Amino acid sequence: MSYPPQPPQPPQQPQQPIYPPQGQPPYGPQPVSPSDARTMSLLAHIGGPVVGFVAPLVIFLIYKDRDGFVRYNSLEALNFQIFLAIAYVVSMITMFVGVGFLLFFAVWICSIVFAIQGALAANRGQPYRYPVSLRLVS
């Protein structure tokens, strides 16, 4: 026996890890529900005519590791918006000849029609590939 006698120690509780806190999901990319995937894909297609390539780019960067369906649709929309930007520049250059006004109007109509078709396909849960596009981003 040691002098002075030591009081009995209470039993030690096993230590719980601090991270992740109880009741919270683990860290890292979380899977996306099918309805959210359709919504984000729809916004990637519709956002193009509204704000240009910014909407598909932001959606692609946020969801590229979380859902393959959103990745595919936002990538297609981003590639199409880059193609449209090139087409708008070409139409502005050719406006000096006079044919550019017609080309500008045709590009604008195509951007709206194809974006609506892509949004409808995404809302149905189907992937959409634009009929005319450059595959610059992969």
pLDDT at 93 (0 to 100):
93
Cβ 119 vs Cβ 45: under 8 Å: yes
Q: Is residue 45 assigned to a domain?
A: yes
pLDDT at 38 (0 to 100):
94
Domain count, the chain: 1
Q: Is residue 2 assigned to a domain?
A: no
pLDDT tens, residue by residue, 37-62: 999 999 999 998 999 899 999 999 99
Compare 62 and 31 and report the one with higher pLDDT.
62
Residue-range definition of the domain harbouring residue 65: 34-123
**Position 133 pLDDT exceeds 70:** yes
